[in-house]
Chain A
Amino acid sequence: GAGVSQSPSNKVTEKGKDVELRCDPISGHTALYWYRQSLGQGLEFLIYFQGNSAPDKSGLPSDRFSAERTGGSVSTLTIQRTQQEDSAVYLCASSLQGSNQPQHFGDGTRLSIL
């Protein structure tokens, strides 16, 4: 498919473990976003990559969260020493370069911390 792909679709892990979530954006999309949606809540912005510019990390909730984007394409979101409050759906979106471009979302990774 040509859409945004996220893996895994579901992840269950024990508190204290590290997790890595992967996002494959749409080919040619230079902008990539990570969001988090906790149960019953809206989308919470985490981090934004645009081309080769320094990422906007202003939404990361703590230093346990980090993300990288290799080669301007695939991105991984890493959560270290997971806590139960990290349980949420993590959504990735990509868009074309430029202003006012609609974001195309993946189906998310549902993360459950036991």
Chain B
Amino acid sequence: DQQVKQNSPSLSVQEGRISILNCDYTNSMFDYFLWYKKYPAEGPTFLISISSIKDKNEDRRFTVFLNKSAKHLSLHIVPSQPGDSAVYFCAASANGQNFVFGPGTRLSVLP
């Protein structure tokens, strides 16, 4: 039973437009969420996080939104750039130490 779901395996967006990556979770005890980006043959790199006491966190072109009642979070990238093409993983934690990762969404930003 997947506790963290990313229902879109892939997403294509035109350069300069907004990319929206979605993540849903089932465990209501999760209170900390992160997004990671992964290029081929490299390990995931941390992008941005959000605590359940907030509903939005912004860092440059990246914004994460959290809707606790819907158990849903999303990552917005604007404007999208070709270098953003990667696999994006959503991760969640209930204790701040053990993290459950989603299956990932492959983003392709088309020039």
Task: Give residues in A with beta carbon < 8 Å to B.
Answer: 4, 31, 33, 35, 41-43, 45, 48, 50, 56, 91, 93, 98-108
Contacts and interface: CB of A to CB of B under 8 A. Distances in A.
Contacts of B46: 102-104
Given A41-B103, A42-B104, A100-B51, A48 B44 contact: no
A31 B99 contact: no
Interface residues of B, number: 24
B96 A100 contact: yes
Contacts of B93: 100
Given A42-B103, A100-B49, A105 B97 contact: no
A91 B38 CA distance: 12
Contacts of A43: 44, 89, 101
Given A35-B101, A43-B89, A98-B96, A107 B34 contact: no
B41 interface: yes
22 contacts: A4-B43, A35-B101, A41-B103, A42-B6, A42-B89, A42-B102, A45-B98, A48-B97, A56-B98, A99-B32, A99-B97, A100-B49, A100-B96, A101-B96, A102-B46, A102-B49, A104-B46, A105-B44, A105-B45, A107-B41, A107-B42, A108-B43
B95 interface: yes
Contacts of B49: 100, 102
Query: Which of B34, B43, B96 has most A Cβ within 10 Å?
Result: B43
Nearest to B90: A42
B100 interface: yes
B24 to A, nearest CB: 14
A104 B34 CA distance: 12
- 7 smallest beta-carbon distances between A and B, as pairs: A99-B96, A105-B43, A42-B103, A102-B46, A43-B101, A100-B96, A100-B32
